[in-house]
Amino acid sequence: MDAQSIRQKFNNYFINKNHEKINSSSLIPENDPTLLFANAGMNQFKDYFTGNAIPKNKRAVTIQKCVRAGGKHNDLENVGLTSRHHTFFEMLGNFSFGNYFKKEAIFFAWDFLTNELNIPEKKLFVTVHHSDNEAYDIWTNIIGINKDNIFRKGDKDNFWEMGEFGPCGPCSEIFYDYGKEHADKKLSLNKDQDFIDDECRYIEIWNLVFMQFEKTPEGKFDLPKPSIDTGTGLER
């Protein structure tokens, strides 16, 4: 399957789920002094998450052009050292602005990967924030993922922030298993690591961000309505 086929499948899947197709924003964000470059699909929707603007459609799908060469999500130091880090890339994303939340977002991602792209379920692993019992229950009791294939992680891995300030929240990531032949033979696990931390064998392909908070210079506050921000790197 080529890249254009994946783009079309992604757009069509979410358009059929009543998401409005929105064009990629400029790489230079408009009216946002917190960012030099667009670093995620949600940047252009920040005001929808915070309640400062009202969207025409509470569901959106985009293919966003992104640059990560500095700031919080800085991939520059890893470019050339891994097969998955790039300064410029396309981020596929589906969004809910107070319309649906964890259950639907998790279902959409799993359904697209396993039914639209035909990725075998046994090749997929999941992480959730260590405090997010709701997401854990959805994955295990509704989706039916094996409990051995789901891991609880802390803020470093499973709490997403667009920058120092802005909308943020716990997240759930989906990983693909390349196979044991790709395992990092030099990896030495310690008590703070899981086998999924082997970046040679397992690659994160989808991030489901459960937007619940906004960070400001004054502190962290609840968003008006829980929302969804997802991202899956096209090149991955």
DSSP 80-122: TTBSS--SEEEEEEEEESSS--HHHHHHHHHHIIIIIS---GG
Statement: the pTM of the whole predicted model exceeds 0.85: yes
Mean pLDDT of 224-234: 94
61 pLDDT above the threshold of 70: yes
Mean pLDDT of 54-77: 80
Q: Is 77 helix (H, G, I), strand (E, B) or coil?
A: helix
Average pLDDT, whole number, for the chain?
A: 89
Amino acid identity, residue 139? W
Please tell me the predicted confidence (pLDDT) of residue 200. Answer: 86
Distance between CA atoms of residues 76 and 92, nearest Å: 20
Residue 99 — very low, low, confident or very high, per pLDDT cuts 50/70/90?
very high
Please tell me the predicted confidence (pLDDT) of residue 114. Answer: 97
Contact 189, 138 (CB under 8 A): no
Specify the higher pLDDT residue, 21 or 198: 21
Please tell me the predicted confidence (pLDDT) of residue 84. Answer: 61
Please tell me the predicted confidence (pLDDT) of residue 140. Answer: 97
Per-residue pLDDT of 127-165, as tens digits, reads 999 999 999 999 999 999 999 999 999 999 999 987 788
Please tell me the predicted confidence (pLDDT) of residue 1. Answer: 84
Please tell me the predicted confidence (pLDDT) of residue 115. Answer: 97
Instruction: Give the bridge partners for 67, in sequence order.
Output: 88
Please tell me the predicted confidence (pLDDT) of residue 9. Answer: 97
DSSP state, residue 142: I
Please tell me the predicted confidence (pLDDT) of residue 81. Answer: 61
Give whole-number Cα distances, 165 to 18, 28, 41, in Å: 30, 18, 16
Residue 83 — very low, low, confident or very high, per pLDDT cuts 50/70/90?
low
Please tell me the predicted confidence (pLDDT) of residue 89. Answer: 84
Q: To the nearest whole percent, how much of the chain has pLDDT over 90?
A: 64
